[in-house]
Chains A and B, each alone.
Chain A
């Protein structure tokens, strides 16, 4: 069974500071994908970044980067130069299993971290 653990229920950060949101995972699958989603107060789920288990380099997307440490089974999200609009819930998620085409199983989500950016 897969499991995602996010140990920070809430975080307060000053605007323009960098933020690291923690995520550890547990899986017995050799191949898996790790995702981060943002959920603002409006409720929609916004895809931020993806890291594959065989990717050699850490993923980056604009101000978002993923600090992937495979041996430690961690996939922390780093937001550089935080902005007020970054205030939201952040979810780490995993897709595991052997990909056999035709889509993949659903995502397993962590409980999320509520990030509040203060001016």
Chain B
């Protein structure tokens, strides 16, 4: 158990809908990262938050957004869903106090199925 929690574990929805994925980082971790894993794109970094502020952006679509709250939990919002958004979405967290200690620990993931 990495200490990172994600809810829900599974999510099934229809095209055009909006969903919210939730992540709680490990105790003491200030940085949260979101990744998407799909068969055709592999594992892709989406976005990173550090202590409530957006820190880095990867291949995140404009239909997707995220935020990190004062208690450091994070939410990833996916809107106008398409079939191609079906994937395993991971949240990861890190301490972010120095490069040699900045290992990212992953949550169990949320499997999103868009029908």
Contacts and interface: CB of A to CB of B under 8 A. Distances in A.
A99 B94 CA distance: 14
Contact of A104 (B35, B58, B99, B105): B99
B98 A99 contact: yes
Given A33-B102, A102-B50, A44 B43 contact: no
Interface residues of A, number: 26
Contact of B100 (A52, A91, A112): A52
A37 B2 CA distance: 12
A104 to B, nearest CB: 5
A8 interface: no
Contact of A47 (B45, B105, B107): B105
Size category of the B interface is 20 to 34
B46 A106 contact: yes
Contacts of A106: 33, 35, 45-48, 56, 58
Contacts of B111: 43
Interface string B9-39: 0000000000000000000001101010000
Q: Which 10 A-B pairs have the closest CB atoms?
A: A106-B45, A103-B31, A45-B106, A103-B96, A99-B99, A109-B43, A103-B50, A102-B50, A105-B56, A44-B108
29 contacts: A37-B106, A43-B88, A43-B108, A43-B109, A43-B111, A44-B2, A44-B106, A44-B107, A47-B2, A47-B103, A47-B104, A50-B103, A52-B100, A93-B43, A95-B102, A99-B99, A102-B30, A102-B55, A102-B96, A103-B56, A104-B94, A104-B102, A105-B55, A105-B58, A106-B56, A107-B33, A107-B45, A107-B104, A109-B43
Interface of A: 31, 33, 35, 37, 43-47, 50, 52, 91, 93, 95, 99, 101-109, 111-112
